[in-house]
Amino acid sequence: MSRAHHVPVLLDRVVSLLAPALDHDGAVLVDCTLGLGGHSEAVLERCSQARVIGIDRDPQALARSRERLAPYGDRFVGVQAVYDEIADVVADQGLPRVAGVAGVLFDLGVSSMQLDLPERGFAYAVDAPLDMRMGDAGPTAADVLNTYSAAELARVLKEYGEERMARRIADAVVREREREPFTSSARLVELLYDVIPAPARRTGGHPAKRTFQALRMEVNDELRVLQRAIPAAIDAIEVGGRVVVESYHSLEDRLVKRAFAAATRLDVPDDLPFVPEGAEPSYRLVTRGAEQATPEEIEENPRAASVRLRALERTSHRPSTSTGKGAV
């Protein structure tokens, strides 16, 4: 497996965005997408006063990251949970649910470990069972393929995979599963090669890329989990605390952008000549729009090509509007 899969995307930039918030005694970072612990290790190494709570739904990832981060002793604790449970995780560690942590990090998408283990079914390059669960419960990708209607499958492929051939693929899946249910990635990849015309296969990477991404996002309910998690993370940070998010899908980035915009919006009439005291937003944007990787980083780490990085900081104790109706 290529080294690129093991290099956290924009690692130095992520740590530099978090470091000002973690530069005090007792500072706590919640790494909501712990994975193999690359980001957490860098923070523990470079931010000497920080502790890290690492969240991952994958017990295998937790076991490996705990081993990797064992040298940092009680400065690191790993928790098996889904990251929209951040408030409960923080409270279980004895911290306030609101304004209780200094930083929150999300590095969205599939982790390198999950891609590296063929039996997990995330990678289309090798034949494996169609699982794709980031945890150890719930329906698998095979269940989705074998039980969803053609219309439901097409919606998933179009919305989460931005697949132009969504209905054509869905119809073929429904037709083929009548002959034999789908169980392996190789059979699905073979179907995609048959269904997607050769001219369409010449652009956009591997013809299975979009379908596998869509199935993974559906199996793990990724967008709905993120929709709950981002406002919870915004509420969780203390004054001076920061939320940093790396997204790799346009729908993820749009959701983060909207949540950040809601939290930083100035809620006064546009024609008011001044901002009344107490009406200032409780948060500010740290990044100007979404930052992207440099060509040099993309060459070293191809996964960085689609990253969009955003960061937000709490500036006051006033109640957040991030969880208000319509925030995301």
> Which residue ranges make up the annotated binding site?
37-39, 56, 83, 107, 114
Q: How many CB atoms lie within 10 A of CB 250?
A: 11
Cα 308 to Cα 73, 85, 151, 199, 217, distances in angstroms: 32, 24, 31, 29, 18
Q: Which residues are annotated as a binding site for S-adenosyl-L-methionine?
A: 37-39, 56, 83, 107, 114
Nearest to 140 by CA among 175, 188, 71, 73: 188
DSSP state of 296: H
Distance between CA atoms of 105 and 76, rounded to whole angstroms?
15
Cα 94 to Cα 31, 57, 87, 101, 106, distances in angstroms: 17, 21, 11, 11, 22
Distance between CA atoms of 237 and 70, rounded to whole angstroms?
26
